[in-house]
Chains A and B, each alone.
Chain A
Amino acid sequence: MASETRGPQGFERVIEAAPAKVAEFAETKTPVQKLQYALHQTPALVPLIVLVASIIGFGLLLGHKFFSAYALTLILQQVAITGIVGAAQTLVVMTAGIELSVGAITVLSSVIMGQFTFRYGIPAPISVLCGLGVGTFIGFLNGTMVARMKLPPFIVTLGMWQIVLAANFIYSANETIRAQDIEEKAPILQFFGETIRIGGAVLNFGAILMIAIVAVLAYVLRHTAFGRHVYAVGDDPDAAELAGVKVKSILISVYTISGLICGLAGWALIGRLGSVSPTSAQLENINSITAVVIGGISLFGGRGSILGMMFGALIVGVFTLGLRMYGTDPQWTFLLIGSLIIAAVAVDQWIRKAAA
């Protein structure tokens, strides 16, 4: 018995005649497969192509009215809040979660910054820190419930959305702080509304903040261990845990950072509106999800790039401004955005096939 059990089994001996290579990579790829592979490697490519195409499209259609430094930077200003909130959303979606309370956290943070300054007379910079702190804390609560209590992110953030929004209305007594008052007494609240002009281009600080946040997160996600762990957690949390990733602390950090980013969005929101209004930013949760999806970030987690999200937000901005300049019914914008969302998911599914 002993001698027979060593070495390959009898029926396996024929393998020796077969080619010795176990792993060969088929290198014959058609151009379509090459494209599929390239898109698989660089997920931000699709939204970038769509963005450039839509800018060129509207440029041809509307001429200089649209294709000017002023109009193009106006788009940046208009999407700044969505882009910042979208960055927060991106982090959570990467971990296969969803964050429905981003809009509510944003508006509550801005209300706290305003009310602390005007109701209690706290110095504005400290109020700003308080607003950021509250945003961060709500994010931390979300993360704790998702990671430690294992509640589904959809449910946690759906609940938190209602709680935070209600708290926002109760606390602010539905009262708006007027832009003139802020300008007189606490101009730092409007900091992100400041603009710099370069020729015809008008950049506000909010747009610069968006670009800065996206740039920092793009670096963190791509070039640090934390970023790789965020992808791994979204891809397969069990595998990540076994491979040595601290899944719970990654999840809590992600929700906490996303809360902080929403706080920053709340500050930028005051700059954008001039005033502090408890009824603003209502649509930012849906807008941010739209930007994430059009940006090619998979809602199943673990795939996509934050640059894609910014391109997604810009695509929505280009369509909104372009169609308004063209003079169509604004409903056409929504109709087109809706089609883009579905198309983006279809492309995502196609790209995933490159894997199989």
Chain B
Amino acid sequence: MDQKGGGVMDPILTARGLTKRYGKVTALDHCDFELYPGEILAVIGDNGAGKSTLIKALSGAVIPDEGEIRLEGQPINFASPLDARAKGIETVYQTLAMSPALSIADNMFMGRELRRPGMMGKLFRMLDRPQMERIAREKLSELGLMTIQDINQAVESLSGGQRQGVAVARAAAFGSKVIILDEPTAALGVKESRRVLELILDVKARGIPIILISHNMPHVFEVADRIHIHRLGRRLCVIDPKQYTMSDAVAFMTGAKLPEGAEAA
């Protein structure tokens, strides 16, 4: 597993000096960020460190007050998650952002439904259900995700792991540049977590870089290529999980220990 950051490749997604204030609270304080092609970058940090704000800024859910985000070197300004998605950045939120009463296929295509070709689609705006169901089924089985019997089954009838799987499949199906996963294993059991981690490695194997936000140190150290440690609204350092221990990471994260100057960003 080769390490990035050696200056060989240009980062695919960068942020410089991101700042976001909520009233008197500064959630992001001139924060920098880099994601390299093909890597899994874990973002860890204590509660309230500003991880979620950073992720929301990258996924278009929050508009930063200051700073610049570049995707493949091009500056971008997201007004909404829709903009970020249009640019190929897909996010799997901790809440999964699914409509429980709607079907798996409906959820996978929410906000980007396919219409029937010809008159029925143009004039009557009829959805192309067979097509959407076929693609949804394909994407799920592509990731070896599960044996779905009924793609029209309501999402609420799935287990937690299955829902997470559908959400990851949705992101993998449409995310061409970057996939952001927010706490994907937080609500899952041991076995389901394991399956989701395999899923993450599967997605990485297809060459799509992943940003993984997690509190689970063993999971982070298992799959991440680099770990971005967030503290007090900014990047404290980026570490290589092969050279540091989990307790080092926790110490940096909580401020019990400071990283050596060379590593600090």
Partner-B contacts on A (CB < 8 A)? 1-2, 5-9, 12, 15, 18, 21-25, 27, 40, 219, 223-226, 228-229, 231-232, 235-236, 238-246, 302-303, 354-356
Chain A residue, CB-CB nearest to B217: A5
Q: Give the one of A2, A15, A18, A225 with max B CB within 10 A.
A: A225
Complex: A38 Cα to B144 Cα, angstroms: 29
**Chain A CB within 8 A of B125 CB:** yes
Shortest CB-to-CB span from A75 to chain B, Å, is 31
Chain B residue, CB-CB nearest to A16: B194
B99 touches A231 (CB 8 A): yes
The 8 A-B pairs with the shortest beta carbon distances in the complex, nearest first, are A244-B111, A23-B146, A242-B97, A2-B242, A225-B113, A5-B221, A355-B156, A235-B99
A6 touches B85 (CB 8 A): no
Say which residue of B61, B107, B125, B218 sits within 8 Å of A225 (CB atoms): B125
Chain B interface size, as a band, is 35 or more
Residues on B with C-beta less than 8 A from A229 are: 110-111
A15 touches B191 (CB 8 A): yes
Residues on A with C-beta less than 8 A from B98 are: 236, 239, 243
B81 touches A2 (CB 8 A): no
A18 touches B161 (CB 8 A): no
15 contacts between A and B (CB under 8 A): A1-B242, A2-B242, A5-B218, A7-B222, A8-B222, A21-B146, A23-B146, A23-B165, A40-B154, A228-B110, A235-B99, A235-B100, A241-B81, A242-B81, A355-B156
Q: Give the one of A7, A236, A242 with max B CB within 10 A.
A: A242
Chain B residue, CB-CB nearest to A10: B218
A22 touches B125 (CB 8 A): no
Beyond A235-B102, A302-B101, whether A243 also contacts B110 by CB under 8 A is yes
A228 touches B102 (CB 8 A): yes
Chain A residue, CB-CB nearest to B240: A2
B111 touches A245 (CB 8 A): yes
Chain A residue, CB-CB nearest to B91: A242
Shortest CB-to-CB span from B144 to chain A, Å, is 10
Chain B residue, CB-CB nearest to A301: B101
**Chain A CB within 8 A of B241 CB:** yes
Chain B residue, CB-CB nearest to A227: B127
Complex: A24 Cα to B148 Cα, angstroms: 8
Say which residue of B147, B218, B222 sits within 8 Å of A23 (CB atoms): B147
Complex: A231 Cα to B106 Cα, angstroms: 11
Residues on A with C-beta less than 8 A from B159 are: 23
Residues on B with C-beta less than 8 A from A355 are: 100-101, 154, 156-157
Chain A residue, CB-CB nearest to B247: A1
Q: Give the one of A225, A241, A243, A355 with max B CB within 10 A.
A: A243
Residues on B with C-beta less than 8 A from A228 are: 102, 106, 110, 113, 127
Residues on B with C-beta less than 8 A from A244 are: 81-82, 85, 110-112
B194 touches A8 (CB 8 A): yes
Beyond A23-B145, A225-B127, whether A240 also contacts B156 by CB under 8 A is no
Say which residue of A15, A236, A242 sits within 8 Å of B190 (CB atoms): A15
Q: Give the one of B91, B110, B113 with max A CB within 10 A.
A: B110
Given contacts A224-B124, A244-B112, 6 further A-B contacts (CB under 8 A): A15-B191, A225-B125, A228-B106, A242-B81, A243-B97, A244-B81
Shortest CB-to-CB span from B175 to chain A, Å, is 13
B241 touches A231 (CB 8 A): no
Complex: A89 Cα to B243 Cα, angstroms: 62
Complex: A164 Cα to B189 Cα, angstroms: 55
Say which residue of A1, A40, A239 sits within 8 Å of B95 (CB atoms): A239
- Within 246-262 of B, Cβ neighbours of A (below 8 Å) are at 246
Say which residue of A1, A224, A245, A303 sits within 8 Å of B125 (CB atoms): A224
Chain B residue, CB-CB nearest to A21: B147
**Chain A CB within 8 A of B162 CB:** yes
